[in-house]
């Protein structure tokens, strides 16, 4: 363990920067072209302010709640429309059956009225 500690100590020992290091770094910074700020960077810089961060959080929460509410309302409307279609189908079906039964009853009634009554 002793040699490892000595190695670490020598590796982490404070040393002076080589001559001209600062000038080379500054020259490289000056030579690097400035990229135009993208809208995302501008937007991100706005979030450094706590009030704006809170306002954005509140707006995001409101949008989420409003979106969920709209989706639920839409689903409820779809369920209502489906129930309405099913009810109309059931009523039409029952009406057709009732009409068929009434026609059958009238036809039986006509046949009975055409034959002479034997009970007199």
**Mean pLDDT across the chain:** 87
Q: What is the pLDDT of residue 117?
A: 58
116: confidence class by pLDDT, cuts 50, 70, 90: low
Q: What are the pLDDT digits (tens) for 54-72?
A: 888 999 999 999 999 999 9
Q: What is the pLDDT of residue 118?
A: 54
Q: What are the pLDDT digits (tens) for 21-42?
A: 889 989 888 888 877 767 777 7
Q: What is the pTM of this model?
A: 0.44
The DSSP result for the chain, as a single string, is -HHHHHHHHHHTS--PPPTTHHHHHHHHHHHSPPPPPPHHHHHHHHTTSHHHHHHHHHHHHHHHHHHHHHHHHHHHHHHHHHHHHHHHHHHHHHHHHHHHHHHHHHHHHHHHHHSPPTT-
Which of the pair, 113 or 120, is modelled with greater confidence? 113
Residues 42-62: what's their mean pLDDT? 84
């Amino acid at each position: 363990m002793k040699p490892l500690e000595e190695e670490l100590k020598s590796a982490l020992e404070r040393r002076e920067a080589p001559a001209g290091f600062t000038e080379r770094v500054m020259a490289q910074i000056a030579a690097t072209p400035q990229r135009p700020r993208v809208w995302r960077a501008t937007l991100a810089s706005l979030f450094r302010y706590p009030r704006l961060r809170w306002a954005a959080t509140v707006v995001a929460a409101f949008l989420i709640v409003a979106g969920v509410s709209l989706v639920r309302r839409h689903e409820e409307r779809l369920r209502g429309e489906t129930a309405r279609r099913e009810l109309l189908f059931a009523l039409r079906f029952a009406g057709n059956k009732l009409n068929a039964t009434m026609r059958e009853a009238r036809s039986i009634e006509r046949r009975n009225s055409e034959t002479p009554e034997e009970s007199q």
